[in-house]
Structure 1
Amino acid sequence: MKLLITGSNGQLGTQIKRMIENGKSEIGKIDEVYSKAEIKYVDYDELDITNLNEVITYVSSFKPDAIINCAAYTNVDKCESDSDTAFKVNSLGSRNLAIAAEKAHAKILHVSTDYVFNGQGNLPFKEYDLPSPVSVYGKTKLLGEQYIKENCSRYFIVRTAWLYGYYGKNFVYTIMKVGKEKGHLDVVNDQRGNPTNAEDLAHHILKILLTEEYGIYHCTGTGECSWYDFAREIIRLSKINCTVSPITSNDLGRAAKRPAFSSLDNMMLRATVGDEMRSWQEAIKEFIESYKDLRN
């Protein structure tokens, strides 16, 4: 098996790489095919996914059996003022990889987001629910999904949400750092979703990729909460002396609108490869404990 992974220096890309090297995740073993695979890990300094000719040349030379696209422009607020870059990376970058994958007769697994939904309602969004994004980030990610479907016949689109992991910046590390420094946090309590451990997501990505169960997947931690609830649990588990107070989204005055309710239902996982995603409480508990072990 030959595998190309883009966005390899990011939070998820790094998690996938470490998991393949270890041959297992916190959920369990991964297929031995990955230990024998020829894998190229690339980031923007090695492959500019916004350049169609460069992508086609690179992919046609390597001839991968599959591509995992973890590359994305994820600064939600900056996307509003820099929509051209968001469009080039999230939309055209996805299109270019899909075109190249089709030419190489390769599968493509593309990582997307809960922000493709508008956040209205109170029932978790299923894969068949119609997207209606409210931000430039969500709109460019949705267009990326559409380009994947239009340009590659063998695709997996995996939507996730509220991702955190051992590598790179994320909400969990920010809460721990600021909580220690200031002793008090104000956290949004009117946005609800699914905290997702990158370890769990990476495990399922590698599982899905070996199948022919093509289509759209939701892959998030089980159960939902607000950012305020999540922050309180992080502080509690970390035993940090810090108070956490709830605020509203309007109090922050951010440039991009966030979906108020973006909980996802992992229906496709249950119907195909199996849903082994842990509850968000179990996953963050394991994460905090492992983080402490790494620091000691």
Structure 2
Amino acid sequence: MVTGVNGQLGHDVMMQLKEMDFDFIAPRRNELDLTNKDQVKKYIIEKNPDVVIHCAAYTAVDKAEDEKDLCYLVNVEGTRAVAEAAKEINAKVVYISTDYVFDGLGQELHSELKEPNPINYYGYTKEQGEKIVRELTDNYFIVRTSWVYGINGNNFVKTMMKLAESRKEINVVSDQIGAPTYTKDLAQFIINLIQTNNYGTYHGVNEGFCSWHEFAESIFEKSGINMIVNPISTEDYPTKANRPLNSRLSKENTTKAGLDRMPHWKDALTRFIAEINCQED
């Protein structure tokens, strides 16, 4: 069972399961409302899936600072309902988490074992979701990811390409470092993971790191768009929610589990731009 199939990741997980001939269900929001605990538990227990890939979440990072109750209800209580139901039917659970569970201090890679210390409310709710999953079940995969983009939704890549239609010059933050992650690659990683019993916490991100500024430059370069991209600091681009400066995630657990790492972010971006162009043709 896949939750959140209207989102970027849920959509790509669903498409790949379809391609690989997996038998799956993908409830829509009205069938599985994460703010309605009883409905969630009843639905999962009745459908009795072997695996629940929980992609649905409240992800509006800045809005979450104002909509704390709703964000908590979806990301914490909704996750609790999913995990409780999965435990009852002995299903594996995949919980999608985020680099935002870390404070982003230092230059080092964040290990899967590192103690989270979120600096925004969205990150706090995702960390609470992780705790609940760990407490309620042993058959879990927590997959933290970062900077995701895919065909089915809004994201940084699409925003940059849209801006290029009306502008010749933009400013992009250059002091936040992370790994842009293509949802197609992440979906494949998750599907590989659920076919094992290597339970635990994983960092599901494309290889390599860059700043948002470098990422933007790459987007324009690979799209053949002439754009002046000026580097600016996080201080020069204030947002409602604080953003971690260092989102470098270590992938030791992926290696230990003998799983393939995801391709390099530049390779992923090339394929995504081809996917966008295909769709437009």
TM interval, short-chain normalised? over 0.9
Task: Tell me the alpha carbon deviations over residues 6-63 of structure 1, each in whole angstroms, 9 at most, x when there is no partner.
Answer: 111110011111122233xxxxxxxxxxx142x1102322211232211121111111
Percent of aligned positions that are identical: 40
Match of 2:260 in 1: 275
1:53 paired to 2:38: yes
Maintained 8 Å contact 1:180/1:240: no
Kindly state the Cα deviation for residue 207 of structure 1 after the two structures are TM-superposed: 0.7
Task: Tell me the alpha carbon deviations over residues 68-124 of structure 1, each in whole angstroms, 9 at most, x when there is no partner.
Answer: 000111111001011111111111111110000001111111100000000001111
Letter aligned with residue 107 of structure 1: K
Maintained 8 Å contact 1:50/1:96: no
Maintained 8 Å contact 1:184/1:242: yes
Could you say what secondary structure the match of 1:144 adopts?
helix
Match of 2:15 in 1: 18
Match of 1:153 in 2: 138
**1:229–1:36 CA distance, 2 compared to 1 (3 A):** closer
Runs of 5+ in structure 1 lacking a partner? 24-34
Aligned residue pairs: how many? 281
CA distance in 2, matches of 1:124, 1:76: 23
Which one of 197, 216, 220 corresponds to residue 231 of structure 1? 216
1:135 paired to 2:107: no
1:207 paired to 2:192: yes
Match of 1:31 in 2: none
CA distance in 2, matches of 1:196, 1:56: 31
Task: Tell me the alpha carbon deviations over residues 139-187 of structure 1, each in whole angstroms, 9 at most, x when there is no partner.
Answer: 0000000011111221110000000111111110000111222122111
CA distance in 1, matches of 2:68, 2:208: 32
Could you say what secondary structure the match of 1:41 adopts?
coil
Match of 1:68 in 2: 53
Match of 1:30 in 2: none
Task: Tell me the alpha carbon deviations over residues 187-244 of structure 1, each in whole angstroms, 9 at most, x when there is no partner.
Answer: 1111010011111100010010111110100110111110000000001110112211
Maintained 8 Å contact 2:207/2:261: no
Letter aligned with residue 206 of structure 1: I
Farther-moved stretch of structure 1 (44-53 vs 224-233): 44-53
RMSD between superposed Cα atoms in Å = 1.1
Maintained 8 Å contact 1:221/1:279: yes
Which one of 146, 150, 169 corresponds to residue 154 of structure 2? 169
Letter aligned with residue 189 of structure 1: S
CA distance in 2, matches of 1:79, 1:36: 35
CA distance in 1, matches of 2:53, 2:258: 18
Could you say what secondary structure the match of 2:164 adopts?
helix
Could you say what secondary structure the match of 2:259 adopts?
coil
Kindly state the Cα deviation for residue 273 of structure 1 after the two structures are TM-superposed: 3.9
Could you say what secondary structure the match of 2:62 adopts?
helix
Which one of 87, 93, 108 corresponds to residue 93 of structure 2? 108
CA distance in 1, matches of 2:258, 2:79: 24
Could you say what secondary structure the match of 1:42 adopts?
coil
